[in-house]
Structure 1
């Protein structure tokens, strides 16, 4: 009986530590994908501004409340707009953001191809 109680306690402690580790990893993942609105080009994870520190606490609280990663992103997008995310979603407002690199690549390739063809002739 003592062994069974010991195993139950060990299992509980292990799962509790695993849960804390998962929460911490999720917190790091989310804060690395959030843009610090005060700093230029830094993530919330890398920034030490007051805004970033408060946002880290908000994310930690939302994780503790049981919100999923998607729900936290949606909450922050509602509050701060799409700019808060480093990886914006594909929607009507961001089509140009996603398609412009492809268009520039194709146009550049066509120009290079045309110049090579002219040099051969």
Structure 2
């Protein structure tokens, strides 16, 4: 009987711990992508300011409410604007931000290609 109780306790404890681990991993991922508005260049995860600590608690509460990562990001975007995200979503306001590196890459490749063509002639 003691063995059955032991296995039941183990069975109920481990899934709860795995859920907590998943929530902590999600919280860590989200807070690393949120910019601290008080500190310069630090994420919420790295910062120890009061603002960052309050946002960490808010992210934890939003996760406990069952919101997804995308929903939490959209909540913070609506409250603080696009600047709070280190990795902003692809939308009409961020086309330039996302497409500029590709444009520079292709432009640089075209310049290098032209240099090689001129050298070979």
Partner of residue 102, structure 1: 102
Structure 1: gaps of 5 or more residues: none
Q: Normalising to structure 2: TM-score of the pair? A: 0.87
Alignment of 1:27 onto 2:21: no
State the alpha-carbon separation in 1 of the partners of residues 119 and 24 from structure 2.
58
Give me the CA root mean square deviation: 1.6
Once the two structures are TM-superposed, the CA of residue 7 in structure 1 deviates from its matched residue by 1.4
TM-score (norm. length: structure 1):
0.87
Partners of 1:70 and 1:98 in 2: CA distance? 18
Q: How many residue pairs end up in the alignment?
A: 121
Runs of 4+ in 1 over 3 A off after TM superposition: none
Offset from partner CA, 1:12-31 (integer Å, 9 cap, x none): 11112222221111111110
Deviation at 1:49, TM superposition (A): 1.8
* Residues 82-120 of structure 1: per-residue CA shift (max 9 Å, x gap): 211111111111111111111111111222222333334
Show structure 2 runs of 5+ residues with no match. none
